[in-house]
Amino acid sequence: MSKKFKEYIKFSFDQNMQNHFSNDFEINGISVLVEEPLPEHVDVNECLKHIFSLIPKHLISNLSTIKIGQYDKFIERNINAFYENGILYITNQQDNNSDMIDDIVHEIAHGAEEIAKEEIYGDRLVKKEFLGKKKRILDLLKEHGYNITSKEYETTKYKKEFDYFLYSGVKASLLKTLSIGLFVSPYALTSLREYFSTGFEEYFLGDKSYLKKISPALYSKINSITKEVQNYGY
């Protein structure tokens, strides 16, 4: 293939992406800024309509803006979305609508956690449930020959080193097997906040009955904050 023809293909692709480039818009009072174009087959407006039909308004009340594009923190933290100060940042590199919906709901969960933090964690039942499950998996990893520090058993905060250990130092198939019946996703093991967010995803996008079965305390809290609208000024 000649250099000139390759340049023509790249130009055609870029033009196609620009033609699909969505204008900024507002939905449910939230500003959506598409700062870099999405793939042609991904419709952010449809994604958000679907999400807002599932998640009650009071759990999204502190979300002011959604920004879609590429951001430095994605590279720094090896992530494709994050929530910060009422703004949800998400990559424009999405496989399909379902991929984008998953990412957005996960970050909305972090916003909902801010709104209802005391109700979720105040009685420490979710923390106790999380640490109990984490201990079971860490004990099993020790039995498989992995080196686990004693401090890790009581840690609820996210640590990059522990995340790296789980996904680079532990066989993926083993971690997945150990997580079945304890966590809806192995990523939930990385911190209490991610335990909540992955459970939130499962509640709204997955199998509520499975979440209730394996994480009854977490399910109860998510179910409670979903239904008790009066506590949030609505």
Q: Where are the domains of the chain?
A: 3-115, 119-232
Q: Is the dihedral of CA 120, 106, 159, 212 positive or negative?
A: positive
pLDDT tens series, the chain, 234 aa: 444 444 444 444 444 444 444 469 999 999 999 999 999 999 999 999 999 999 999 999 999 999 999 999 998 888 999 999 999 999 999 999 999 999 999 999 999 999 999 999 999 999 999 999 999 999 999 999 999 999 999 999 999 899 999 989 999 999 999 999 999 999 999 999 999 999 999 999 999 999 999 999 999 999 999 987 545 554
| Angle formed by the axes of helices 44-54 and 97-115, nearest 10° | 40
Partner residues linked to 84 by β-bridges: 87
Instruction: For residue range 189-207, list pLDDT tens digits in order.
Output: 999 999 999 999 999 999 9
Quote the pLDDT of residue 229: 59
Quote the pLDDT of residue 230: 47
Whole-number Å distance between alpha carbons of 110 and 59: 10
Number of H helices, E strands in the chain: 11, 5
Whole-number Å distance between alpha carbons of 124 and 115: 17
Quote the pLDDT of residue 76: 86
Quote the pLDDT of residue 231: 56
